[in-house]
Amino acid sequence: MIIILKKDAPQEKVQELIRQFERQNIKIHESRGVQEYLIGLIGDTSHIDPEDIKSIDIVAQVKRIQEPYKKANRKFHPEDTVVDICGRKIGGGHFQVIAGPCSVESREQMISVAQAVQKSGAGLMRGGAFKPRTSPYAFQGLREEGLELLVEAKKATGMPIVTEIMDASHLPLFEQVDVIQVGARNMQNFELLKALGKVDKPILLKRGLSSTIDEWIMSAEYIMAGGNPNVILCERGIRTFETATRNTLDLSAIPILKQKTHLPVIVDPSHAAGIRSLIEPLSMAAIAVGADGLIIEVHNDPEKALCDGAQSLTPEAFDSTMEKIKKTVAFFGKGMD
């Protein structure tokens, strides 16, 4: 971190600031030029908020040289993280498709969709039991019963399950869940992230509706700082002025994240687009820009779905999209083991 001081900064105040950093084991490099007077901070400055420093009266400007995240940073961990979910790998050349309904609705629905997506080549299944709905009057999910039905579908197919957690107090119910999803609305629920840092299960961290890439990485850092290194990032579209799609899929986030972090990155074309016909082209695009996987909503009867039917594929449409996904993944040199 570099602090540019005001030219007329009194020496005693500068020295007091320097002593304050030295007490935090930060080394100081002072440089007084004709044009500028600056001090360089050498050491771990991740706990220092540049905004706090900026508010000091002798400070003109503050520049961060190093990102405030260490554990998620590719600079300190150059090789890709490969997350292993019951033998199914994501990251480092391994590609996975997670598929299933937006929400778990019934035993028949869950088992039939799970069997269908497995047959088409999905590696993991999804299904929401606790649903974050904009309206309190909308279907909120089957909650505990939904989790039980997911586990039944897992027993019937052998597929690992991915489902969303809304509150840390629900963690004991997630014993049999293989990947815990943090939804867009909870990306900055820091107490939840801290609790998930103590869990020995991979976390699928969705991007917040209006979150920057750096804010998103900092949320991953929360989980990792707690001791859980298995974080998968999921781009699911962001809020923009565009109304033709439910959200705007930020495809450039994928190569940017690949440069900044070593974590696997997957794409959710369903919540990004909100429109069934866009799932296939957006999936192709996601693979082309380097995604390590996809999470796609599939429903046995989308027109009657209790949630997100308009963006859900039928099992037949999913099967045909999967054929293209498999070819595209192979074309870009990744494996779907």
Cβ at position 83, least distance to ligand PEP in Å: 18
Contact between 141 and ligand PEP per CB under 6 A? no
Contact between 236 and ligand PEP per CB under 6 A? yes
Residues 126-145 that bind Mn ion (CB under 5 A): none
Contact between 164 and Mn ion per CB under 5 A? no
Choice between 89 and 236, CB closer to ligand PEP: 236
Which DSSP string corresponds to 112-123? HHHHHHHHHT-S
Contact between 132 and ligand PEP per CB under 6 A? yes
Contact between 308 and Mn ion per CB under 5 A? yes
Strand partners, 164: 181
d(CA 267, CA 332): 16
Phi, psi at 222, each rounded to 5°: -55, -45
Contact between 102 and Mn ion per CB under 5 A? yes
In sequence order, what E strands does the chain have?
2-5, 27-32, 37-42, 59-63, 83-85, 88-90, 96-100, 124-126, 161-165, 179-182, 203-206, 231-235, 265-267, 293-297
C-alpha dihedral over 337, 148, 127, 224, to 10 degrees? -70
Contact between 296 and ligand PEP per CB under 6 A? no
Residue of closest CB approach to ligand PEP: 183
Contact between 291 and Mn ion per CB under 5 A? no
| CA-based nearest residue to 90, from 263, 207, 333, 206 | 263
Cβ at position 102, least distance to ligand PEP in Å: 5
Residues 191-210 that bind ligand PEP (CB under 6 A): 206
d(CA 165, CA 148): 14
Contact between 299 and ligand PEP per CB under 6 A? no
Contact set with ligand PEP (CB under 6 A): 102, 128, 132, 164, 183-185, 206, 236, 268, 271
